[in-house]
Amino acid sequence: MSVSLPDPIILIAKQAGDVRIHSFIAPFTYDNLANATHIIESKNALVLVDGQFLVPYARKFRAYADSLGKPIDRLYLSHRHPDHWFGLGPAFSDIDIYALPETIDYVKQEGEASRKDHLPKMGTLAPDTIVVPQNSITTPGEYTIDGVKYIFDRVVDTEIDFLLTIRIPAIGVYFVQDLLYSDTHLYLTKDIENWIRVLQVMLLSDYDLFMPGHGLPADKNEVAKNIEYLSAAKQAIANGLTKGIFKNYMIKRYPARLCPGIFDIYLPRLFGTAGQY
Ligand SMILES: [Zn+2]
C-alpha cells in the first residue's frame, strides 16, 4: 500500500485580512476516513487543529505546514479518537500540543494500548510512539493568539464524550471537528439526541464555515444534513434495526456518503459490548 497511497486534498478554505484557513484532508478511498486537519495562518504564526491518523499523511500535513514559512505556535487536539492523534508522534513531537484535560488523561492512560491494538491491522501506517499533549485547557473561553481572537468550548456527550471546538468569530469560522462529517458516513454513538441539539444550536449561530473532522469544509446545509442523518439513524434504531441490517439500511438511504469503513469501527460499540466511543 505504501507505494500507491492516494494524495490528500489540500485547500485554502478562507482568506480574510491576515488570516488564512487551510484544510488538509486525507483520502476518501479504500479504508481511509477523509481525516480533516486544519491550519489557521495568521500574520506571524500557525495554529494547527488535529494531527492526522496515518503516518504518511501526518508527515505530509507537517510538510505542508512547514512550507508556509511561519512557525507552528501550537496544535490543538480536538478529542481522543486515535484517527486524530496517532499522527502526533511521527510528525508533531516537537510542537506544543493543547487539549482538554479529559483528552490528555485518556492519551496518557490508554494511548499506548490503543496504538498496540491498532498495530496488527495498520502496520507501518501506525505510529512508533505516542505523544501526550502537554498543555491542558482547563478554562475554555476567549484567547488571543497572534492578534486573532479564538473562542474555545468543551462540548460533552456527542460523537465523543469530550470534544474541543474552536471558533474565530471575526471571520465566521467554526472548527467543529467530529460534530460534523462532511459528505461521509457519521460515527454514531448512544448520544444521538444531544448531538442533534448541539448541531441545532450551530445552525442558529452567526458562523458560516464549518471545519469538520472528516471531509471537506462545509456550510450550514451540511450541518442540517448531519441532523437529518442522525434523526434517521435514531429512528432506525428505535425501530429495532441493528448491526448489519442497520448498516445496509443507512448505506441504501445515503448512497452518496463516502467512507463506509466507519460502520465497522462503531457498530460493535453501538450494538455490542465493546466500549463506547
Ligand atoms: Zn474522527
d(CA 17, ligand 1 centre) in Å:
30
- Whether 96 maps to a domain, the answer reads yes
φ, ψ of residue 249 in degrees (nearest 5): -65, -45
Neighbours of ion ligand 1 (CB under 5 A): 81, 83, 178, 213
Beginning with the edge strand found earlier in the chain, give each strand of the sheet holding 209-214 in spatial order: 142-145, 148-156, 162-168, 173-181, 209-214
The pLDDT, as a whole number, for residue 228 is 98
The pLDDT, as a whole number, for residue 127 is 97
Domains in the chain, number: 1
Instruction: Name the band, by pLDDT with cuts 50, 70 and 90, for residue 32.
Output: confident
The pLDDT, as a whole number, for residue 273 is 72
The pLDDT, as a whole number, for residue 1 is 47
- Whether 43 maps to a domain, the answer reads yes
Q: Which helix (H) or strand (E) holds 158?
A: none
Instruction: Name the band, by pLDDT with cuts 50, 70 and 90, for residue 276.
Output: low
- Whether 276 maps to a domain, the answer reads no
Closest CA to 127 of 111, 103, 104: 111
Q: Which helix (H) or strand (E) holds 59?
A: helix 55-67
- Whether 277 maps to a domain, the answer reads no
d(CA 259, ligand 1 centre) in Å:
12
Stretch 205-215: mean pLDDT: 98
Whole-number percent of the chain with pLDDT over 90: 95
Helix (H, G, I), strand (E, B) or coil at 73: strand
Domain containing residue 58: CATH number: 3.60.15.10
pLDDT for residue 3 is more than 60: no
Closest CA to 191 of 100, 270, 254, 265: 270
Closest CA to 148 of 171, 165, 177: 171
The residue behind cell 508527515 is 59
Give the residue numbers spanning the domain of 171: 2-271
Q: What does the angle CA 47 – CA 52 – CA 54 come to, to the nearest 5 degrees?
A: 155
- Whether 64 maps to a domain, the answer reads yes
Helix (H, G, I), strand (E, B) or coil at 265: helix
pLDDT 10s digits, 112-131: 999 999 999 999 999 999 99
Q: Which three cell numbers stand for residue 46?
A: 500557525
pLDDT 10s digits, 228-254: 999 999 999 999 999 999 999 999 999
User: What is the pTM assigned to this prediction?
Assistant: 0.96
pLDDT for residue 275 is more than 90: no
d(CA 8, ligand 1 centre) in Å:
16
